[in-house]
Each structure stands twice: as structure tokens, then as C-alpha cells.
């Protein structure tokens, strides 16, 4: 192994450590019996998990997060699919502008989107409600859904849909029996990925959630009050959930898409 190779590996290890060490520490202290996060560690305990599981506020926040994440996933993926299909199937004047606008939200700073959403929802009189968080998260995640499904559609043999029509399928039937099955891995991947993004999104949720807190917002409120190892426990749970969703999304998209490309 060359010296450069070694250096690169060391650098990579540092980056991974930088990202994952805090999460690991959080995981570690979530099972630590001491109240303050100091070394050496105290005894092993599940006390903090018991505390949060006994806290109705945590369950309310978890329910909210779950509802928001699953609704967002469905809405964003449906929107993303329609947009990707429009892009695949039709060409029209101003299409590149249309696509640019569709893909814009992830490039805007979260704080600006969050403020704009808050102002807009307040004007409509629907701020601080679950549907408003869902709407905001859908705006944020739909471009990801669109990108994933578009990637899949770019691999389709263009005769496939026409072949279905040719064999007696109406446009809707062909959509259902050819386009959707073909896109199934990408749609699955998009559902999990958008759910994951929504599940641990904090900034926008904090601005628009009001009293209907999601888990990340709930965590912040605990931190603001006290130093409480509960936070580590919740953080670990949120991380585990998001990671699971993302890994499923990755597995779906890589397994299927790589296999086609090979």
C-alpha cells in the first residue's frame, strides 16, 4: 500500500469519525447511569429509555413524527413520480425552466424556507398544525423523489410503453402495468428516503410545528431546559429509525439499478 493510499485512508477514517463519533457518544451515554456526560462512565442503565417511554410528550411527538413522515413520503413520492413521468414522456416549451423550478427547494437555505412557510401558513391561518408540517416537508423532499424516479425512467426502453399500448393496454392501463412496475424499486426507495428526511428534519418543523412537536423539535425543547440524558436516548432512536429507512432506500435503489446497468 502506497504512502498516499495510507494517508487517504487515515483521512477517510477521520471524516467518518467526525460524523459518527458524536452519534456514538450519544448512544453510549444513553445507557450511562450518570446524570452528566462525563468520563469515566457510570453503570449501565436503561433508565433514560424507561423515562422517555413513560413520558406522554415523547409518545405524542413520536406519533406526530410518524404521521408526518409517512404522509410526506406518500405525497412527495406521488408528486415526484408525476413530475418524473412528465419529464420522461412529454416535451414542451419551457420544460427546462419547469424542471429547474421543481428541483429548486433543496438549494434554498432551510431557514428561509422555514420562515417563508411560517409566514405563508400564518396568513392562511393553518400554521402550527400537522398538515402544515406535512406540506412543508413535501415541498422539501419531492425533488429527491423526482430525482430517484427520473433516474429509473432514464433506463427504460422507450418502446416498452408503446409495446403495452400495442398489445391492447390503454394509457392508464399501460401506466399501471408497465411504468409503475418498472419504477417500483425507485418508488420504494423514494418512499423510504423521503420518510427518513422528513423524520429527522428539524429547522422547518421547528418553525411551522407550533404545539404539534415532532421528535427533533421535542429533543430541542428538552435540551433548552436541562441537561438530561433522555436526549441521548431519543437521539439514538431517531438516528436508528432514519438510518434504517435510508439503508432500505439505498438497498432498493442500488440492488435494482446496478443490476440493470451491469
Partner 1 sequence: MTEPLVVLDAVEKQFDGFVAVNKASLTIGEGEFVAIMGPSGCGKTTTLRMLAGLDTPTRGEIRIAGEVMNDVPSHARDTPMVWQSLALFPFLNARENVEFGLKMRGLDGAERKRRAMAWLERMEIAEFAERNVDTLSGGQRQRVALARALVVEPKLLLLDEPLSALDAHLVIRMQAVLTKLQRELGITFVYVTHSQSEAFAMADRVVIMSKGQIAQVGTPREVYRAPRTRFVAEFVGRNNILTGQVTGSETGHVTLDTPLGAFRVPGEAPHGSTASIVVSADRMQVGPGENTLEARVVSEEFVGAMVTVFLEAPDGTELKVQMQERALGEIDLTAGRALSLSWTTAEGHLLQEATT
Nearer to partner 1 (CB atom), residue 152 or residue 218: 152
Contact call for residues 189 and 106 (beta carbons, < 8 A): no
Write down the least CB distance from residue 169 to partner 1, Å.
5
What's 107-144 look like in SS3? HCCHHHHHHHHHHHHHHHCCCCCHHHHHHHHHHHHHHH
Residues interacting with partner 1, by CB under 8 A?
157, 159-160, 162-171, 173-174, 177-178, 181-182, 184, 260
Taking alpha carbons only, the member of 215, 195, 193 closest to residue 206 is 215
Nearer to partner 1 (CB atom), residue 117 or residue 174: 174
Which residues lie below 8 Å from residue 194, measured CB to CB, with a gap of 6+? 72, 73, 76, 77, 80, 141, 142, 144, 145
Q: How far apart are CA 8 and CA 254, in angstroms?
A: 25
Nearer to partner 1 (CB atom), residue 46 or residue 166: 166
For the chain, the farthest-separated pair of C-alpha atoms sits apart, in whole angstroms, at 72
Write down the least CB distance from residue 190 to partner 1, Å.
17
Write down the least CB distance from residue 167 to partner 1, Å.
4
DSSP state of 210: T
C-alpha cell at 225: 431546559
Taking alpha carbons only, the member of 24, 214, 22, 80 closest to residue 134 is 214
Write down the least CB distance from residue 152 to partner 1, Å.
12
Nearer to partner 1 (CB atom), residue 165 or residue 254: 165
Q: How far apart are CA 65 and CA 72, in angstroms?
A: 10
Nearer to partner 1 (CB atom), residue 121 or residue 182: 182
Write down the least CB distance from residue 183 to partner 1, Å.
10
Q: How far apart are CA 151 and CA 153, in angstroms?
A: 6
The beta strands (E) that lie in the chain are given as none
Nearer to partner 1 (CB atom), residue 91 or residue 226: 91
Write down the least CB distance from residue 25 to partner 1, Å.
45
Amino acid at each position: 500500500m502506497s504512502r498516499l493510499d495510507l494517508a487517504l485512508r487515515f483521512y477517510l477514517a477521520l471524516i467518518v469519525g467526525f460524523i459518527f463519533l458524536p452519534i456514538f457518544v450519544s448512544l453510549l451515554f444513553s445507557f450511562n447511569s450518570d446524570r452528566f456526560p462525563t468520563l469515566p462512565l457510570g453503570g449501565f442503565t436503561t433508565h433514560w429509555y424507561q423515562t422517555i417511554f413513560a413520558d406522554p410528550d415523547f409518545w405524542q411527538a413520536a406519533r406526530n413524527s410518524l404521521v408526518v413522515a409517512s404522509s410526506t413520503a406518500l405525497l412527495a413520492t406521488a408528486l415526484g413520480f408525476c413530475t418524473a413521468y412528465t419529464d420522461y414522456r412529454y416535451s414542451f416549451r419551457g420544460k427546462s425552466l419547469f424542471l429547474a423550478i421543481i428541483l429548486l427547494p433543496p438549494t434554498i437555505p432551510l431557514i428561509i424556507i422555514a420562515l417563508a412557510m411560517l409566514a405563508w401558513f400564518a396568513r392562511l391561518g393553518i400554521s402550527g398544525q400537522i398538515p402544515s408540517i406535512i406540506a412543508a416537508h413535501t415541498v422539501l423532499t419531492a425533488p429527491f423523489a423526482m430525482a430517484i424516479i427520473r433516474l429509473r425512467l432514464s433506463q427504460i426502453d422507450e418502446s416498452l410503453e408503446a409495446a403495452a399500448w400495442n398489445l391492447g393496454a390503454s394509457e392508464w392501463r399501460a401506466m399501471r402495468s408497465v411504468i409503475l412496475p418498472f419504477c417500483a424499486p425507485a418508488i420504494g426507495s423514494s418512499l423510504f428516503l423521503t420518510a427518513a428526511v422528513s423524520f429527522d428534519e428539524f429547522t422547518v418543523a421547528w418553525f411551522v410545528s407550533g404545539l404539534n412537536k415532532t421528535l427533533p423539535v421535542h429533543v430541542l425543547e428538552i435540551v433548552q431546559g436541562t441537561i438530561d440524558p433522555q436526549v441521548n436516548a431519543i437521539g439514538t432512536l431517531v438516528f436508528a429509525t432514519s438510518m434504517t429507512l435510508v439503508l432500505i432506500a439505498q438497498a432498493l435503489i442500488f440492488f435494482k439499478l446496478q443490476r440493470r446497468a451491469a
